[in-house]
Structure 1
Amino acid sequence: MTAIQPVAVATVPLREVATIYSGGTPSKANASFWVGDIPWVSPKDMGEDRISDAEDHISADAVEGSATKLVPTASILVVVRSGILVRKLPIGLTTRPVAFNQDIKALVVDETRFLPEFIFWLLRAAEPRALVVGVKKGATVHSLSAGYLESIPVPVLPLDEQRHIVDILNHAASIRRLREEARAKARDIIPALFVDMFGDPATNPKGWPVSRLDAEVSFVSGATPSKQEPRYWADGTPWVSAKDMKADPIVAAEDEVSDAAFAETNLKLIPAGSVLIVVRGMILAHTIPIRVNAVPVAINQDLKAMLPKPGMSEQFIRWCLQCLHNHLLAKISTAAHGTKKLEMDVLTALPIPAPPVPLQQEFAQRVAEVEGISSLNDRATTAAEQMAQSLLAQVFGQTA
C-alpha cells in the first residue's frame, strides 16, 4: 500500500466546501405522504457508510409539502441530534437520492473543487474530536453545537491528490467489509444447521412434541422511563429499542438507564441469555428482528423479551423463531394509525417443536462454535478498523 504523507496545507471551513441542508418530517396525519418510494432517512438508518435505503419511505408530495429535503446521490448525511452522539457520530454517503429528518444534516459538495468521498473521510477523521468538543449533551438527547459542523477545517488539495487519498482509504475500508461479510456468512450456517438437526419447525417433519411458545418461555414487556427525569438516563444498563437490534448478539444500546429507573418505574431488568423480539414498529413491514442479549438489558415497549423456561435453550428458541420468520411476517397487522405490529396472541400461541434437552444443548454448542469463527473475524475486523483509523490520522491529523 502506498504511504500517505501527513497533510500540512491551507484549509477552508466546511461551509465553503458544501451546501448544508437541514431535514424535516412530513405530517404523519397525511397518509399519502408515507406511501412513496423516496427513502426518508433518520438516525436509525445511519448504521452503514453507504446509505442506499431507509426503513421509511415518502412520496414526492411529502417533499414538496414539508421541511424535508431531497438530496442527490453522493450527498453526505451527518446525524446532528440523537442520543447516539454520546459515543458515535454517524456519517453516511448516499448512493441514491434520499430525503431525511430534522436530526440529520446533508452536505452537497462542490464537486468542481472537492470529491464527496474525500469530505466523507475527512468527517470520519473528525469524529473523535467532535465527540469531545463538538457535542452538546442534554438529559437524554445530545446534539452537535451550533456552527460546529460548518466550521470543520477542510484541507485544500488538488483533485488528483484527493483521489489518491480516497483510493487508499477505500482499500482499507474494503478489507474491513470483507471481514464483516465473512462473519455474516459464518452466521448464515446456523439456520441450515437448525433445519438439519430439528427439521423445518413450520412442518415438524421429525415429529417432535409440539408446544405453544408461551409454555416454553416467560414473556416480559418493556417500558420507557420518563424523559423528564434525567437521573433515569445516566450511564448504566443498556436500554434496547428497535434501532439497537442490528447488533448480534446485543451487548450495548444507544441509550442507557440507571438503577433508579428500575427502582422507581415499571421497567424490568432482562437477564442475559434472553431472546428479544420487536413486536411494534414500521420495521415489521419487511423484517422481524430477533436477537439474544449477551448482557443484562432493559427494553422499550416496542419489544418483548422471552426468558426460556428450564430445559429450553435460548439459542434453540431464537433460531426456531428465525426459521419461522416468514410465517410470523405473514401475521403482521396494521394499527389504526398505520404502525405495524405482531399481536401477542399470535406470538404466544405459536406452535414450536420441543426436542430433547440434550439435542438442544448440542445445537447451542454448535452455535457457539460458529460464533467462535465469527469472533475471529471480529478481531480481524477490529485490526482493519485500527488500520483505517491510523490512515485517517495520517491524512487529517489536524482535524482528528
Structure 2
Amino acid sequence: MSKSLFPTGPIGNLIAFQTGGGTPSRQNPAYWTGPIPWASVKDFDEDKIELLETDEQISLQGLNNSAANLIPANTPVVCTRMAVGRVAIAPMDIAINQDLKALFPSHSTDTRYLLRLADYAKAKADAVSVGSTVKGIKVADYLNIEVPLALPEHQSKIAEILDTLDAAIRGTEAVVAKLKAMKQGLLHDLLTRGIDANGDLRFPQPEAPHLYKQTPLGWLPKEWEACLLDNVALRGSGHTPSKSIPSYWDGGIRWVSLADSHRLDQVYIRETDKEISEAGLANSSAVRHPENTVILSRDAGIGKSAILASEMAVSQHFMAWRCGTKLNHVFLYYLLQREKPRFEAIAMGSTIKTIGLSFFKKYVIALPPKNEQDQIGKILLQAEDDVVIGEQEAQKLRATKSGLMDDLLTGRTSVTPLL
C-alpha cells in the first residue's frame, strides 16, 4: 500500500454499526427450502465485490428460527473467518451466516466508498487474523484497522471512478467470453463441415446429405478423407538426458517437458523451462524437431498441444508430428485441440495416466484438401487472436484499476481530473 496523503484512522470511524448472522439447523429441511439467499464465505470470490447469487437459500422459517439475519440490499458484507477480509455487496436482501459481518456506514459515509475501502483493507485484515487451522478476526480488531479516510465530498467520486472501471472490465470480460464461445463453435463447425468453394461453411449433413459421405469417422464432406495421421506426417517423440551429468543441460537447445504444460494450448510455444546441450542431445534419444512441428502431451496434462515456434527437442512425454505436403500444421494443431476430451478419456494408468504409442500408430484424422485446411487454419488463428486481444485489454484494465484504486484511496491522485 502507498503512503496516504489522506488522514488515516480506524475503518470503524466510517461504520455506524455491524451485525453478524447464523446458520439454520440442517436437521430441519424446511429451513432450507425457501427463497431467501443465504450467504457464507464460499460465496465470496477473491476478485469480485458484487454478490449476485448464493449457493444456498433458506426459508422465512429458517431465518426466524436461527441467528441468521436478513441484511438489506446494497450493504457491504465482510468475511471475518476463513477468507478474512473479503468483502462484497449484494443488490438484493440476503441472510448471512456467523462467519460474516454486515457493515452499515455512518450517515456521512458513502456506501460504495466503504465497500472499496474495505476491499483495500483486505490484506491488513488477513495480516491481523489469528488461528492455526482456520483464521479469523475479532470484530474489534477489524474495526481498528487503519485506513485512509477521504473527505465525505470525495468519497462518492472515488467510488464512481472505480465503479466505472469495474463496469469496463466486466464488459470486456463478457466480450472475451463471447469470443471464446464463438471460437469453440467455429472449431466444431470448421472441423466437421469445413468450407465450400465459395468460402462459406457447408450446410450440416442433415440439411445437405448430398454434400457428405459415410466414413470410419462418421459423416465427412465428400472432398475429405479419413486418413491415417502417419501417412501425412512424420511421427516422433523425445527423451530426457541424464540429469546426473551437468554438461548435458543448459546448453541452449530448448527442450519441452511437463514443466512447460502452462505454455501449451496457446497455439505456439516459444520458450521452455529447461534447455539441453549438444552433448545431452548426442547422449540420449532426444532429437531436434524443426519449427512448425506439432507436439502433444500424452502423460500429465494429457491432450495439451502446441506448435514449435522454433527448433526444439522434447521429452518422452510428448508426441511430435512434422507435417508433410498434404497437412497444414495449424490445421493439425486445432484438430488435436478438438480431440482433447477423447485423449483424456482413453488415457490409462492407476498412478500416472498415459496414452500408449500403439494408439498414435493407428490414429486416423479427418483430412480436407490442403487449400481448405489452409483457410480453416487462418480463420481459427484469427479467432484466437481476437480472444488474445480481448484478454490483453481486460488485463490492461485490471492493472489500471489496481494502480488507480491505491492512488485514489490514499489521495495520491485527485479525483477531479479523472472525472
TM value normalised by structure 1: 0.53
Alpha-carbon shift at residue 49 of structure 1 (Å): 1.9
Of the candidates 98, 109, 113, which is equivalent to residue 118 of structure 1?
Answer: 113
29-38 or 155-164: bigger deviation: 155-164
The equivalent of 2:97 in structure 1 is 101
Distance 2:216 2:23 in 1: 50
Residue pair 1:22, 1:105 contacting (<8 A) in 2 also: yes
Distance 2:135 2:384 in 1: 34
The equivalent of 1:394 in structure 2 is 407
SS in 1 for 2:387: helix
Letter in 1 for 2:390: N
- Alignment map for 1:282-321 (pairs within 5 Å): 315-316=338-339
Residue pair 1:73, 1:95 contacting (<8 A) in 2 also: yes
The equivalent of 1:26 in structure 2 is 24
Once the two structures are aligned, what percentage of the paired residues are identical?
21
Pair 1:169 & 2:162 matched = yes
Letter in 1 for 2:141: Y
The equivalent of 1:14 in structure 2 is 12
Distance 1:393 1:64 in 2: 41
Residue pair 1:50, 1:92 contacting (<8 A) in 2 also: yes
Of the candidates 32, 38, 46, which is equivalent to residue 40 of structure 1?
Answer: 38
The equivalent of 1:128 in structure 2 is 123
Residue pair 2:187, 2:380 contacting (<8 A) in 1 also: no
SS in 2 for 1:142: coil
Alignment coverage as a number of residue pairs: 258
- Alignment map for 1:1-400 (pairs within 5 Å): 7-9=5-7, 11-14=9-12, 17-47=15-45, 48-82=48-82, 84=83, 89-110=85-106, 112-131=107-126, 133-136=127-130, 138-139=132-133, 141-144=134-137, 147-153=140-146, 155-193=148-186, 196-197=189-190, 198=192, 271-273=300-302, 315-316=338-339, 357-358=365-366, 370=383, 372-397=385-410
Residue pair 1:23, 1:69 contacting (<8 A) in 2 also: yes
Distance 2:30 2:171 in 1: 40
Question: What CA deviation, in whole Å up to 9, does each residue of 1:240-267 have, x standing for no partner?
Answer: xxxxxxxx99xxxxxxxxxxxxxxxxxx
Distance 1:373 1:26 in 2: 48
Alpha-carbon shift at residue 156 of structure 1 (Å): 4.9
Residue pair 1:74, 1:96 contacting (<8 A) in 2 also: yes
Distance 2:144 2:205 in 1: 61
Residue pair 2:25, 2:66 contacting (<8 A) in 1 also: yes
Residue pair 1:134, 1:145 contacting (<8 A) in 2 also: no
Residue pair 2:41, 2:99 contacting (<8 A) in 1 also: yes
Which is higher, the Rg of structure 1 or of structure 2?
A: 2
Q: Residue 185 and residue 318 in structure 1: after superposition, are their counterparts in 2 closer, same or farther (change >3 A)?
A: farther
Letter in 2 for 1:192: G
SS in 1 for 2:121: helix
Q: Alpha carbon RMSD of aligned pairs, Å?
A: 4.1
Letter in 1 for 2:92: R
Residue pair 2:32, 2:58 contacting (<8 A) in 1 also: yes
SS in 2 for 1:180: helix
Alpha-carbon shift at residue 27 of structure 1 (Å): 1.6
Gap regions ≥5 residues in structure 2: 194-203, 207-211, 219-264, 267-298, 305-334, 343-362, 412-419
Residue pair 2:303, 2:340 contacting (<8 A) in 1 also: no
The equivalent of 1:341 in structure 2 is none
Residue pair 1:71, 1:108 contacting (<8 A) in 2 also: no
Gap regions ≥5 residues in structure 1: 212-247, 250-269, 276-311, 320-354
TM value normalised by structure 2: 0.51
Alpha-carbon shift at residue 118 of structure 1 (Å): 0.4
Q: Residue 130 and residue 10 in structure 1: after superposition, are their counterparts in 2 closer, same or farther (change >3 A)?
A: closer
Question: What CA deviation, in whole Å up to 9, does each residue of 1:336-355 have, x standing for no partner?
Answer: xxxxxxxxxxxxxxxxxxx9
Alpha-carbon shift at residue 382 of structure 1 (Å): 2.5
Letter in 2 for 1:169: L
